[in-house]
Amino acid sequence: MRTLVIGGTGPTGPFIVNGLRERGHEVTIFHRGTHEIDEIPGDVAHIHGDPHFSDTIEAALAGREFDLVVATYGRIRLIADALAGRVGRIVSVGGYAIYHGFSNPRALHPAGLPVPVPEHAPLAEDETEERFSTLIAQTEAAVFRHHPTATHFRYPYVYGPYQLVPREWSIVRRVLDGRTRILLPDGGTNLSTHGWAGNLARAVLLAVDQPAASAGKAYNCGDLDQLSVRQIIEVVADALGATMETVPVPWEVAGPAKVTSVGGRYHQLMDLSRLRTDLGYTDLLPAVEALARTARWYAEHRPDASVEQRLGDPFDYAWEDRMMDHAAVSLAAWQEVADAGRPSAGERQRTASGRAFAPHPYAHPKDVNAATDHRGR
């Protein structure tokens, strides 16, 4: 089968390209050619051109025919238009920011997306309110309008080598720089769907393998297990043989420390039931192992200054130390108030050892045929 992969050198590209080759596909990649990677074998043909504009897409693909196109890069709506009637099937990639309320959580009541978000949740449709998300929704609609049997994936944040904005670097660099503390906005409890590149590629390849089951459908995708920001920091630090103390601060004052919270303040957790049910998806690697591998890769392949600029993390350790010192003072003050509001020792129940404990609201009765079963004792 003659297959074109648009992209191919980003995080998921090598996994998709090599997965197709293992399936016997004759693979060509179409990308700008600004960088090549060793993971793409020499038997893969290259078309160098810009997949972001109609004229450059047409110039690059003129006179070429493919049985399958896997479009992971460029302006997907223009690619879908250019390939209308010229390809047997298309599998395309968009983003999970497609849902109404993703980019503007307070547009929903109560604020924030449902947890988890199924594929049938309302999509963004008002450019004045949610321009970015609405454009993603329009792109997906264009894919299915031109290619009714297409399969479309709503990618989450992708982690792994070659990520243009690697969130993990904010943690990895601090470990390498000898930092032992890190600011944690809102305690790092928020959850946002992430996907290791190899796991996302597996989802795409399952759709390639099962055209009938996946035709005309859009899928959420990502790792089956999702980690909170606090857990991500713990896994990354441990992978590098370090321990990192997390210092919680309110979101409102976290400043650039918010970089570690890719999903923002509100949960952005996707429902993966359709992917598992339709295509039998399972992770290639569990999230903890995949994240640890990613951390070690960035420790060995230090990103350049341009990556840090895109990431938006100034690595201003003097400011962070001041913030963490203030956080410690504030926490001590809050603890003082909390202690003052506790009931006295005589008002609290105690165990046989004398340790105070809160009464159990559903404790088993102590007497036969007691008037009430649950007396909180």
Total of domains in the chain? 2
pLDDT of residue 346: 53
More confident residue, 35 or 362: 35
Q: Would 87 be classed as within a structural domain?
A: yes
pLDDT tens for each residue of 154-182: 999 999 999 999 999 999 999 999 999 99
Pair (375, 273) in one structural domain: no
Q: Which two tokens stand for residue 71?
A: 């479009």
pLDDT > 80? residue 351: no
pLDDT tens digits for range 291-335: 999 999 999 999 999 999 999 999 999 999 999 999 999 999 998
Same domain assignment for residues 138 and 31: yes
Instruction: Tell whether 68 and 148 lie within a shared domain.
Output: yes
**What is the percent of the chain with per-residue pLDDT over 70, rounded to a whole number?**
93
Residue 200, pLDDT score: 98
In a domain, 232, yes or no: no
Phi, psi of 68 (to 5 degrees): -140, 140
Q: Are residues 161 and 208 in the same domain?
A: yes
Residue by residue, DSSP assigns 43-79 as TSEEEES-TTSHHHHHHHHTT--EEEEEE-SS-HHHH
Length of the chain: 377
353, pLDDT greater than 60: no
Q: What is the pLDDT of residue 367?
A: 77
Beta 356-357 vs 194-196: how paired, if at all? unpaired
Q: Does one domain contain both 365 and 276?
A: no
Specify the pLDDT at position 274: 98
Q: Same structural domain for residues 304 and 213?
A: yes
Task: Give the confidence band of 339 by pLDDT, cuts at 50, 70, 90.
Answer: confident
Provide the pLDDT for residue 377.
47
Residues 135 and 215 in one domain: yes
Question: Pairing mode, if any, of strands 26-31 and 2-6?
Answer: parallel
Per-residue pLDDT tens over the stretch 236-257: 999 999 999 999 999 999 999 9
Confidence bin at 95 (pLDDT 50/70/90): very high
Nearest to 159 by CA among 144, 151, 170: 170
Indicate if 126 and 48 belong to the same structural domain.
yes
Looking at residue 353, what DSSP letter applies? T
Q: Around 65, how many Cα atoms within 13 Å sit in the side-chain half-sphere?
A: 5
Both 210 and 351 in a single domain? no
Domain of residue 79 covers: 2-165+192-225+266-312
Is 213 found in the same domain as 66? yes
pLDDT bin (cut points 50, 70, 90) of residue 354 is low
pLDDT over 60 at 349, yes or no: no
Residue 266, Cβ neighbours under 10 Å: how many? 18
Which of 86-100, 136-150, 200-214, 340-354 has the lowest average pLDDT? 340-354
The encoded tokens of residue 311 equal 């990431």
pLDDT band at 264 (very low <50, low <70, confident <90, very high): confident
Does 177 reside within a domain?
no
Question: What pLDDT, on a 0 to 100 scale, did the predictor assign at position 365?
Answer: 74
* Domain presence at residue 159: yes
363 contacts 345 by C-beta, under 8 angstroms? no
DSSP H or E segment with residue 199: helix 197-209
Residue 344 is predicted with a pLDDT of 61
The pLDDT tens digits for 216-240 are 999 999 999 999 999 999 999 999 9
**Residue 210 and residue 359 in one domain:** no
Judged against a pLDDT cut of 90, whether residue 358 lies above it is answered with: no
Q: What is the CATH number of the domain that holds 307?
A: 3.40.50.720
Q: What are the DSSP E strand ranges found in the chain?
A: 2-6, 26-31, 45-48, 66-71, 87-95, 151-155, 157-159, 181-185, 194-196, 217-220, 245-249, 349-350, 356-357
Alpha-carbon dihedral sign for residues 301, 307, 308, 312: negative
pLDDT for 150: 98
Identify the band that residue 34 occupies on the pLDDT scale cut at 50, 70 and 90: confident
Would 209 be classed as within a structural domain?
A: yes
291 and 353 co-located in one domain = no
Evaluate whether residue 85 is within a structural domain.
Answer: yes
What is the structure's pLDDT at 252? 94
The whole-chain average pLDDT of the chain stands at 92
Answer yes or no: is 302 within a domain: yes
Q: Is residue 43 part of a domain?
A: yes
Quote the pLDDT of residue 375: 54
